[in-house]
Amino acid sequence: MKRIKKEYIILTILLLIFILLSIFVNLGKLDSVDEAIYNFVANFKCDFLTHFLYAITQSASTVGIISIFVLVIAFFFYKKDLFSIKYLVLNLLSGTLIVKGLKELFKRARPAWKWIEQGGFSYPSGHTISALVLYGTLILIINKKLNNRLKKPLIIVCILMIVLTGLSRIYFGAHFFTDVLASMILGCIILLISSLFMNKEYGSNDKNKVKKTI
């Protein structure tokens, strides 16, 4: 019997967690958790944090993500790195379409306590998954292609942008904690699937390079 890859086990677990989370959210079983977490985060409100997190949340808006995406794609296009461009486009497109479909399926209203203007449905968080798949894909690319002292700082910056984007959505009351959590899980599923394909493709590219040098 073939040994099951740990990635497939993790994928199955993440998918089951997402399904259970969605069921509990739909039944309203986690409303008290969402409210408690928002109240906790709201305790830290101050002018500095509001301005800082507003900049973060705007960077993950449609305009913000497209702007960053275009700059990143332009950089990889200049480097003639079609491998990275392909996965950035596929992952961002997948995340956007999946969340749009789920929003229409669940039709969850925004939190009553939101204090910034925000339309549309709440579950899952579009800002969060956009940031996660964009910066998460960059982390995968950096891990494979960078081997200098910039590697760790760049990965840390990407992780911070993901975490801060999710936090900003809760801070402004634009999303429930469970909206953000759902997008984090979905984003991880997309990235894990992407990683499996990237490993296979990148590995085969390395082998081809070795053959050419031989």
Distant-in-sequence, close-in-space partners of 182: CB < 8 Å, separation ≥ 6: 18, 21, 22, 25, 102, 123, 124, 125
Is residue 60 within 8 Å of 129, Cβ to Cβ?
no
Is 210 a domain residue?
Answer: no
| Structural domain count of the chain | 1
pLDDT of residue 204: 55
For residue 16, being part of any structural domain is answered with: no
Predicted pLDDT at 200: 84
Residue 30 included in any domain:
no
How far apart CA 86 and CA 113 sit, in angstroms, is 39
**What is the reported pLDDT for 203?**
67
Q: Determine, yes or no, domain membership for 102.
A: yes
- What are the 10-residue block averages of pLDDT along the chain, 214 residues in total? 71 96 96 95 94 95 94 94 94 96 95 84 95 96 88 95 96 96 97 91 56 36
Per-residue model confidence (pLDDT) at position 4: 58
Query: Half-sphere exposure (CA, 13 Å, Cβ side) for 68?
Result: 18
User: Phi and psi at residue 43, in whole multiples of 5°?
Assistant: -65, -20
Identify whether 103 is part of a domain. yes
Closest CA to 167 of 60, 23, 14: 60
Rounded-to-integer distance, Cα 129 and Cα 187, Å? 6
Q: Per the domain annotation, does 111 fall within a domain?
A: yes
Distance CA 6, CA 23 (A): 26
In a domain, 6, yes or no: no
pLDDT of residue 210: 34
Distance separating alpha carbons of residues 97 and 105, to the nearest angstrom:
12
Q: How far apart are CA 57 and CA 171, in angstroms?
A: 10
Which is it for the CA torsion 28, 175, 92, 204, positive or negative?
A: negative
Q: CA-CA distance, 132 to 88, in Å (whole number)? A: 11
Domain that holds residue 74: 44-205
CB contact set of 145 (below 8 Å; sequence gap of 6+): 81, 84
Q: Is residue 64 in some structural domain? A: yes
Angle of helix 151-171 versus helix 126-145 axis, rounded to 10: 170
